[in-house]
Amino acid sequence: MAQVVMLRHRESGLLRRGFIGFSWTTLFFGMFPALFRGDFLTFVGSFVVLAILATPTFGIGAGIAMFVWAFFYNSYYTRKLLEHGYVLDDNEQLMREARLRLRIG
């Protein structure tokens, strides 16, 4: 199960939830968690890649890709938020673990 870590935008103060760990929602619902999180570019990219993989393999390629992507999506999404001006804003122990798992200083 993924852990939630709170992020705060440096300038606006807007709070968002970041995630670290395996993404069960991505495994079971494919690219839709990206859509619900407002990550539209990843949603469209995932849709295109999955459609390309699914067509010649009768869906098996897309299933394998979603399994692999579920290991990476939460970290990818959280790192993207950090690149867009968000900073970790949670308890110190959780922030330490997030820095370690996201490989940030």
Task: Give per-residue pLDDT as tens, 60-95.
Answer: 999 999 999 999 999 999 999 999 999 999 999 999
Return the amino acid letter for 20.
I
Per-residue pLDDT band for 1 (boundaries 50, 70, 90) equals confident
pLDDT of 102 > 80? The answer is: yes
Among 104, 14, 53, smallest CA distance to 6 is for: 14
Return the amino acid letter for 3.
Q
pLDDT one-digit tens code per residue, 11-60 = 999 999 999 999 999 999 999 999 999 999 999 999 999 999 999 999 99
Model confidence pTM above 0.85: yes
**Cβ distance 47 to 39 under 8 Å?**
no
Strands in 3-9's sheet, in edge-to-edge order, are 15-20, 3-9, 86-88
pLDDT of 105 > 90? The answer is: no
| Phi (first) and psi of residue 87, to 5 degrees | -130, 155
User: Domain residue spans in the chain?
Assistant: 3-102
pLDDT of 99 > 90? The answer is: yes
Q: Structure tokens of 72?
A: 């990476």
**Helices and strands per DSSP (H, E), number in the chain:** 5, 3
Task: Give CA–CA dist 68/26, Å, rounded.
Answer: 10
